[in-house]
Amino acid sequence: MAPEALVCKECDATYPLEARYVCEECFGPLDVKYDFSDLDPSESRRKIQAGSRGIWRYADFLPFAERPRDPLEPGLTPLIRAERLAERLGLRELWVKNDAANPTHSFKDRVVAVALAKARELGFTTVACASTGNLANAVAAHAAASGLDSYVFVPSDLEEQKLLATGVYGTRLVGVKGNYDDVNRLCTQLCETRPWAFVNVNLRPYYSQGSKTLAFETVEQLGWSLPDRIVGPVASGSLFTKLGRGFSEWIDLGLVEGELPSFNGAQAQGCSPVATAFAEGRDFCVPQRPDTIAKSLAIGDPADGPYALDLARNSGGAIDSVTDDEIRSGIRLLAETTGIFTETAGGVTVATLAKLADRGDIDRDERVVAYITGEGLKTLDATRDGFEMYEIEPTLEGFEAEFEAVAAAS
């Protein structure tokens, strides 16, 4: 079992396993091709279960000949049975995969761990990225732990919490006056002129592989079985599609039995190019200018949008969008029923889950997994309007007077 080559997703042209991200023949995106011809499913399961307590237990399905060494190994985050949330939504079996429990509190630790391991393997000493926040945190932290120099490019109006949680690691934090698409365009240009490993540009084929580990963990944590439906956020579409690839790989290789789950994608209405394309029956996305509190999903020109559309349609799922007010409600709903505080991207996912349940799109007997990709402390402003605190004098009378008034009002 080993990575074999980079292959174009459009024309199947192949390339060496180097820092390359676009096909020279048709300009299509590149992906990693593996040789699994000698894989034994039973032996692979045994090896996984005897492996590390993180994503490197799945090293045989990642783009390395040998398991990388990693001081900040992410993964094996909790999969929680969300019974109270399921009851609220009228569902029988609902699980929440809480990927905020990673080293920098988002799923981006997975993709960055893979990208930086590949950067070291290819001889890079400087890493960089274009980010809406979570990736910035992860690149800065993992670069610091690995002794690599780093540059992190973000929109200058990003949430303060994410900026502070990036700069603390000693990275060179660069605020760009523009949105994420402007930042990404600049980084694509810099990629051609600097000898750096841009994790989501010239290392994108490897970086994206880290998202498959979320699917692998879900199967393992469900007792080597599959969910019927997944609900997850869509920004560039990379996480969404690589979840699909992770499930498909293990089904095809015989590590788990069953059919691919239905895939439901979630976007913010203020930046919903993929959801709009789905609703209009198109197989391509028209770029949009972002205007939403869900800044971590605010990618107006999503690179993997067409592939996300294919996955949703071919699996019997859909891609929906929700308003900023619905996002705030989704954050509160998850917190009040599970004790999990999510950032705005998770609010998008939960609000979409609620919409699907209300619409009757989810069969009551389905096993559903919702993916929470980031920590609520990163987007505190989103919950500021609903914040309430009772202020009293430090006396019994002060407490009783306040709460008698509260009880009378309710």
For the ranges 107-121, 332-346, 387-401, the lowest mean pLDDT is seen at 387-401
pLDDT at site 404? 80
Decide if pLDDT at 374 tops 80. yes
- Residue-wise pLDDT for 204-254, tens only, equals 999 999 999 999 999 999 999 999 999 999 999 999 999 999 999 999 999
Q: Is residue 274 part of a domain?
A: yes
Determine how β-strand 30-35 pairs with β-strand 2-8.
antiparallel
* pLDDT value, residue 101: 98
Does the pLDDT value for residue 323 go beyond 80? yes
pTM reported for the whole predicted model: 0.94
Task: Enumerate the β-bridge partners of residue 149.
Answer: 126
SS (H, E, C) 75-98: CCCCEEECHHHHHHHCCCEEEEEE
Q: Which amino acid is at 273?
A: P
Q: Which of 365, 375, 346, 358 is nearest to 88 (CA)?
A: 358
| 378, part of any domain | yes
CATH number, residue 262: 3.40.50.1100
By CB atoms closer than 10 A (0-12, 13-18, 19+), residue 78 is middle
How many other CB atoms sit within 10 Å of the CB of residue 410? Answer: 5
Average pLDDT over residues 120-126: 96
On whether residue 142 sits in a domain, the answer given is no
Domain holding 264, by residue range, is 79-105+209-383
Which CB contacts under 8 angstroms, 24+ apart, belong to 24-29? 29/204, 29/205, 29/303, 29/304
Q: Where are the alpha helices (DSSP H) in 339-395?
A: 344-359
43-92 residue pLDDT tens = 999 999 999 999 999 999 999 988 888 889 999 999 999 999 999 999 99
Whether residue 406 lies inside any domain: the answer is: no
Look at the chain and report how many structural domains it folds into.
Answer: 1
Residue 69 included in any domain: no
**Which 8-state DSSP code applies to residue 25?**
T
pLDDT for residue 406: 67
3, part of any domain: no
Could you tell me the two tokens for 221? Answer: 């944590």
Alpha-carbon dihedral angle through residues 269, 358, 261, 347, given to the nearest 10 degrees: 40
- Mean pLDDT of all residues in the chain? 95
Around Cβ 274, how many Cβ atoms within 10 Å?
30
Give CA–CA dist 308/242, Å, rounded.
Answer: 9
Q: Is residue 316 part of a domain?
A: yes
- Sequence letter at residue 74: P
The type of residue at 375 is E
Query: Model confidence over 245-296: pLDDT tens digits?
Result: 999 999 999 999 999 999 999 999 999 999 999 999 999 999 999 999 999 9
DSSP character string of 286-322: ------SS-GGG--SS-TTHHHHHHHHHHTT-EEEEE
> Is 328 contained in some domain?
yes
Q: Given this model, what pLDDT does residue 409 score?
A: 67
Q: How confident is the model at residue 386 (pLDDT cuts 50, 70, 90)?
A: confident
The residue with tokens 């080597």 is 224
